[in-house]
Amino acid sequence: MNLFVFGMGYSGLASARALRARHPSSAIAGTSRTSEGAQALTRQGFTGHVFSGESPGETLGEDLRAATHTVLSIAPGPAGDPALLHHRAELDAAQDLEWLCYYSTIGVYGDHGGDWIDETAPLRATSERNRRRIAAEAEWRGYALERGVPLCILRLAGIYGPGRSAFEKIASGTAHRIVKPEQVFNRIHVEDIARVSALAAEARLAGTYNLADDLPAPPQDVVACAAELAGVAPPPEIPFETADLTPMQRSFYADNKRVSNAGIKDRLAIALLHPDYRQGLAAIHSGG
């Protein structure tokens, strides 16, 4: 198995590590936006390449052409998906390509009034960034069909894990408990993204699947749980109407839905490693 990851950041790197743990002899290469990031990947035993998404990566061609499995973890821009825009020729030349995986987002569903939804729900993206995701999904479906290669689209919920959780916000004093009645968010632990990606790669899984945990929850409850585990007082609750939020932060509250993960769990016959935020935060706090 030769894996190439476009965007070997937080989730892409975790997935590469998970696949390497299961297949130690695999060749794994990926991209970072900066030379420092690419060098860090190489120090960890991967082959790192620089790809900003704005222009072609100068060194990645050979590894991409050798790929059997490719994970795509870069947000699309106004012109479309950067990997297809700048490196379609190298993908076309990857004669042994067996599987593609695109990391999308549950943001493509938009607002569903707090109802439970699955992969059949209509796409009602409320922001330009999520409308671009819908377009990118379509681009990759078209490419996969043209190539005759299975494509797995994973629509990811809000990602958290070690180094990127409510604990860091509490420690830095930037955690807030903003309360909007009936509002819930969906989230997924990075270790579950990594495990699902590795299993899907092995199975050459095709289709579109949500990847969220079992318990959509109000954001203020997550902060309160982390504060309790850290042994500190939680920040005070702030009504959404008076909260000092950036336009980007406020836009997240426009979408309210409960996202079912039954599809991916049934297809891979698995339970999640971290089925809810309480267990996920407890594992982070204990170092597990």
pLDDT at 48 over 70: yes
Give the residue among 87, 27, 21 at the shortest CA–CA distance from 51: 87
Per domain, the residue ranges of the chain are: 2-161+187-213+257-274
**Mean pLDDT score of the chain:** 97
Residue partners of 114: CB distance under 8 A and separation at least 6: 182, 183, 184, 256, 257, 258
Exposed/middle/buried for residue 245 (C-beta within 10 Å: 0-12, 13-18, 19+): middle
pLDDT at 126: 87
Taking the model in full, what pTM does it have? 0.96
Single-letter code of the amino acid located at 174: T
Tens of pLDDT, residue by residue over 215-271, are 999 999 999 999 999 999 999 999 999 999 999 889 889 999 999 999 999 999 999
**What class does CATH assign to 2-161+187-213+257-274?**
alpha beta
Give the residue among 98, 67, 59, 90 at the shortest CA–CA distance from 3: 67
3-state helix, strand and coil shares in percent for the chain, rounded to the nearest 5: 40, 20, 35
| Banded pLDDT at 161 (limits 50, 70, 90) | very high
Length of the chain: 288
